[in-house]
Amino acid sequence: MTDATPDPATLNLDPYWMPFTHNRYFKQHRPLDRLLVGAEGAYYTTSQGQTLFDGLSGLWCCGLGHRDRRIVEAVKNQLDVADYYPAFQVASPDSFRLAERIAKHAPGDLDHVFFTNSGSEAVDTALKIALAYHRLRGEASRTRFIGRERGYHGVGFGGISVGGMVANRKMFAPAMLNGVDHLPHTHNLSQMAFSQGMPEWGAHLADELERIVALHDASTIAAVIVEPMQGSVGVIIPPIGYLQKLREICTKHGILLIFDEVITGFGRMGDWFGAQAFGVTPDLITFAKGVNNGTVPMGGVIASKPIYDAFMTGPDYAVEFFHGYTYSAHALAVAAAHATLDILGSDDVPNRFTALGTLLADGVHSLRGEPNVIDIRNYAGAAAVELAPLPGKPGLRAIRLFEDALKRGLLVRFTGDTIALAPPVISTEAEIHRLVDTMREAIRAVA
Ligand code: PXG
Ligand code: PLP
């Protein structure tokens, strides 16, 4: 806190409309331990001077930990050179180089990168690319998107239409994209509770796509969009063989497969992308968050060569894709991304997430048998502990756990009654043990 920072105790909380937050509760309770004033390594500092272990790497975005000097220097140096370059009709060499580097690590023939500023924008961009692609190829009837129950694809109108989190959609039903259908989600406690890694049960749920295709006819479907691992809804790991089946069915029917890798991209799954971790190559990948460790807003879409090529028609002086953002490939975001990719490579980050995942898995699965724990899930650098809801009050037990854990110096994320964990890759073995011990204490405290 600098001298110019107002005293948190008298701070006016009212004008800031907080995103995805219970504003009235927050502002009435004035939780000073939830006012963050600093970040370093795997920890935040609160306005009360307490340190909090960062159990979700920010909101899944700071996987390398906070303020790695190499990223900090890169952004500072960029500011000494240029603050902003327009993105339309001009670009910096660094933007071209960044696209080349990201394409190099993308799976298969995904080799062209379109930059956005968030995951939500990346999703809307990918959906627009899919629609335009089919139209350019003379298949303008392919307009439907297939999402998945419990999916999270951000908060744009496209993203909530294909998304499957009911609270995010119900208010906006009249403004949804037309013709969207949804695959069933793959979370089934009676079949897969306490699975370690990928559940063995559930690949057959991908066959639902055949039913949906038969219902609507393939000629009306543009794309299927799924998160390889569902993050926001509480870490739902794909069943063995499930994503492969989706791929086969999409290919068979000429439907594009979009992997929304906003959470799974850039190391968290133990590989550069979830696509490689799970061994399935989509046609489009959306990314954000980890691309520059959450340092400056950035997202994007990686498109396969055939998709990019389909746009490259018409007179060569004409714009091929009428889409873009003022801040696409923002100079500071690009600088942070180059430094992040350097670290991902030089520090062997994807493999270290696999190693961290082993520690995390051993730790979280030891919570089995603690009060009200009804499921534990994990894959590489992500894990979740699901609690039985309090009767008639879904979500309240997790809120209580969240608040109890904060008092013990641990910041986690809850969704429904599930606690999600995704610590930074720099976490030590002792820190992971401490994370699990704190979870155990908090679970017992709210029992
Ligand atoms: N797609 C996926 C798969 C995401 O996880 C988005 C799109 C949207 O990205 P933006 O940058 O527009 O927020 C996301 C974002 C959580 C949590 O607690 C997850 C996200 C965002 C905030 C919190 O799990 N995912
Ligand atoms: N609204 C207005 C009036 C604008 O002029 C612009 C961009 O020029 C936008 C919205 C879109 O903003 P962005 O490019 O940051 O998404």
Domain boundaries, the chain: 23-60+348-445, 72-346
- Report the nearest-CA residue for atom 15 of ligand 1: 154
Please tell me the residue having the least CA distance from ligand 2 atom 8: 326
- Within 253-348, residue ranges assigned H as helices are 274-278, 305-311, 331-346
Q: Phi and psi at residue 373, in whole multiples of 5°?
A: -80, 115
**pLDDT of amino acid 419:** 98
Q: Model confidence at 406, in pLDDT bands (50, 70, 90)? A: very high
Contact (CB, 8 A) for 383 and 364: yes
Overall fold of domain 72-346: Aspartate Aminotransferase; domain 2 (3.40.640)
Q: Which atom of ligand 1 is nearest to the CA of 227?
A: 3
First-to-final CA distance of the chain: 36
Counting ligands in written order, the one closest to the CA of 420 is: 1
CA 120 to chain centre: 10
pLDDT at 4: 57
| Ligand number with the minimum distance to the CA of 330 | 2
Mutation choice for ligand 1 from 60, 229, 284, 411, CB with most ligand atoms inside 8 A: 60
Beta-bridge partner residues of 148: 183
Question: CA-to-CA distance for 176 and 161, rounded, in angstroms?
Answer: 5
Considering the domain 23-60+348-445 in this protein, what is its CATH number?
3.90.1150.10
Counted residue by residue, the chain has a size of 447
Within 10 Å of residue 194's Cβ, how many Cβ atoms?
14
Pocket of ligand 2 (CB under 6 A): 325-327
Sequential DSSP letters for 120-158: HHHHHHHHHHHHHHHHHTT-TT--EEEEETT----SSHH
The tens digit of pLDDT for each residue in 272-301 reads 999 999 999 999 999 999 999 999 999 999
Check for a shared fold between 23-60+348-445 and 72-346. no
The rounded Cα 406 to chain-centroid distance in angstroms is 23
Residue in 289, 309, 10, 288 with CA at minimum distance from that of residue 133: 309
Per-residue model confidence as pLDDT tens digits over 131-178: 999 999 999 999 999 999 999 999 999 999 999 999 999 999 999 999
**346-371 average pLDDT score:** 98
Q: Residue 4 corresponds to which amino acid?
A: A
Measure the CA–CA gap between 422 and 60, rounded to whole angstroms: 7
Q: Show the DSSP H helices in 193-241 as ranges.
A: 208-216
